[in-house]
Structure 1
Amino acid sequence: MATAPKYLQGQDLESTVRKLIDGHEELYWAVAWGSMSPLAKHLLSNAAKVKRFAIGTHFHQTDPDLLQALRDVPGARVVPNSSAGTFHPKIYLFRTASKFSLVLGSPNFTRAGFGINHEAALYVEGDTSDALYRDILHAIESAWTESNYISEDFLRAYRLKHRATQAARADLEKDLPINMPTGDSEYRNLLDDEWSEFIERVKSDPHHDVEGRVGIMDHARVWFSQIPRFADMTEGQRKAIAGTYARNESKPAEVPDLDWAWFGSMVGAGVFKSLVKSRPEGFSAALDFIPRTGSISENDFERFKGRFLESFEDAERGGGLATASRLLALKRPDYFVCVDSANKDKLSEAIGVRKAYLTIDTYWTHVIRPLLCSPWWNAERPVDDLDGRIWDSRMAFIDAFCYER
């Protein structure tokens, strides 16, 4: 008959499982994920004891190095991914003759699961004639039978998927710094608005022509498509992208007569304006870190920021959030909004962050990352032509209703 369960947590988890590996003759396990931890290496040194080991790979969380090592363990198999649900057990069953030990709870077979995580499990001992043993063994056998051997082709493909999703997994491990605005904020629902509410606000822009704003972004998108490097554009195109045209300043033929000061006027940023005209290579190298299409990571932004700030090293004044975010918003208006003196008050209220805390160093953390969680940002692209074009530049279009004269 099984003994009364013993509660395990913290260091007791790792030490108990390690002792059970040493003390028993046979191991029957089913776990959702695993990594190449010290405990895993201890298991591999006792590989002959492994009779059944079914390990999952949903969300590509299992370490491919562990799967590689398990290829040499006859009792190890990998559970195929299925849309029917996630393989999520954490069962560690041990047997010697007619006696069994069981650890059942929350810890995956990972370094964190048997280390820094706050996990909890029950430890039970008993006879193999117990119903509990039979039920647990049946569950493991069923999972193992439906699993696959770890082939080299599977492992090669899995390594690619694991690497491709590594950045997303790392991002999920961070606490998202979302601050909710106060009740008197003019746009207190910006972070949780649906697309219908967001587009209504954009189209209600009291200061500017929405079609004109869309036209600016359309031209910028075409220029970056035809001339990927900022430094290779004409001086007129660079000034348009950088927002350094005065409103009544004449423009060359390749630059449409639009108000390029929309989305952040940088006319007063003298040093920036001069560098855009005569030494654009630094800004160009910085923008090269921002992909023209697809997702953008915090690392992409950090690399941009580093190179952007280096561009001002020999100048009398350095670069800041306004000039940096203007360039970002014109290259990738779906991901970035220009933050300058004209919209900083309302935007800081809307995202619940004090205006003084909005700097180039905090831009990704306090502005972009929270806004990427918004329903309107994650909405599908509308079919309507104008709405679809606004959606293509949706982050930059926050300026349409946060702008103050």
Structure 2
Amino acid sequence: MELSPLSPPRLVSNQNENIWQTLRRELLTCTSFTWAVAFITPDMLPPFKLVMEDLRAQDVHGAIITGTYLAFNQPRVFAELLKIPNLKVRITAGPFHAKGYLFDHEDWQTAVIGSANFTRSALLANQEWCVKISSRQDAALTRQLASALAGLTAASQPLTPDWLQSYAASWQ
């Protein structure tokens, strides 16, 4: 069932439509996006890169804020993210375990917030719960999330080849 952009908040899980389908639909209809996700696995990058190529043709850009918490993210994940021209990646310091996805649309925003990292198991199979909220731009909750993301962006550093080289040398 297709919901209108400003439908009531709803629970998104992998029980019926998986979380990746929800995120993919938002990506394909957004004007930009910012995600904060602690963990990213290499097996989610091929479908993500396909979507990003489609978005590049539409001049849609996005950002991902992630980190090195528990050394979970493999250097090859960062190397693949660097290859996506319409994506900016920021690296946080310290313990970072957030999972929030914010999508800007023409005159509204959608947020998906919950337990799902950007991993194949989290987005397709695990028992994960996320809440999907859509609201007019500058509504209280999406404004708070946008502010939190802006704070994370300001407190993080850009993913660069030099940063990746240093991380790869020390990663275990």
Higher helix share: 1
* 8, 11, 29: which one aligns with 2:12: 8
Distance 1:8 1:14 in 2: 10
Q: How much identity, in percent, do the aligned residues show?
A: 23
Alignment of 1:230-269 (within 5 A): none
Tell me the secondary structure at the aligned position of residue 114 of structure 1.
helix
The answer to whether the aligner puts 1:44 opposite 2:52 as a matched pair is yes
Q: TM-score by structure 2 length?
A: 0.81
Contact 1:28 1:50 in 2 (8 A): no
Bigger Rg over Cα: 1
Alignment of 1:186-197 (within 5 A): none
Tell me the secondary structure at the aligned position of residue 28 of structure 1.
strand
Tell me the secondary structure at the aligned position of residue 78 of structure 2.
helix
Paired amino acid for 1:127: R
The match for 2:88 is: 75
Contact 2:30 2:106 in 1 (8 A): no
Contact 2:37 2:99 in 1 (8 A): yes
Deviates further, 38-47 or 119-128: 38-47
Q: Structure 1 stretches (4+) deviating beyond 6 angstroms?
A: none
Q: How much does 1:57 deviate?
A: 1.6
The match for 2:132 is: 123
Unaligned runs of 5+ in 1: 165-405
Distance 1:157 1:115 in 2: 32
* Change beyond 3 A, Cα 1:29–1:62: same
Higher strand share: 2
Alignment of 1:142-161 (within 5 A): 142-161=151-170
Tell me the secondary structure at the aligned position of residue 125 of structure 1.
strand
Q: How much does 1:97 deviate?
A: 2.1
The answer to whether the aligner puts 1:64 opposite 2:68 as a matched pair is no
* Change beyond 3 A, Cα 1:108–1:43: farther
Paired amino acid for 1:135: Q
Q: How much does 1:73 deviate?
A: 4.4
Contact 1:52 1:144 in 2 (8 A): no
In the TM superposition, what whole-angstrom CA distance separates every residue of 1:339-362 from its partner, at most 9, and x where no partner exists?
A: xxxxxxxxxxxxxxxxxxxxxxxx
Q: How much does 1:116 deviate?
A: 2.9
Q: How much does 1:127 deviate?
A: 0.4
Paired amino acid for 1:9: S
Distance 1:68 1:76 in 2: 11
The answer to whether the aligner puts 1:31 opposite 2:41 as a matched pair is no
**Structure with bigger RCO (C-alpha 8 Å, 6+ apart):** 2
Contact 1:40 1:109 in 2 (8 A): no
The answer to whether the aligner puts 1:141 opposite 2:145 as a matched pair is no
Q: CA RMSD in A?
A: 2.0
Q: How much does 1:30 deviate?
A: 0.9
Unaligned runs of 5+ in 2: 1-5
Contact 2:18 2:124 in 1 (8 A): no
Paired amino acid for 1:31: V
Q: How much does 1:75 deviate?
A: 2.5
Paired amino acid for 2:167: Y
Contact 1:18 1:42 in 2 (8 A): no
Q: How much does 1:92 deviate?
A: 0.5
The match for 1:106 is: 115
Distance 1:110 1:69 in 2: 15
In the TM superposition, what whole-angstrom CA distance separates every residue of 1:59-105 from its partner, at most 9, and x where no partner exists?
A: 1111322211222445221113x2xxx11111111111221111110
Contact 2:109 2:142 in 1 (8 A): yes
Contact 2:41 2:119 in 1 (8 A): yes
* Change beyond 3 A, Cα 1:51–1:148: same
In the TM superposition, what whole-angstrom CA distance separates every residue of 1:113-167 from its partner, at most 9, and x where no partner exists?
A: 21232211111111013111110100111101111111222212322343x2xxx
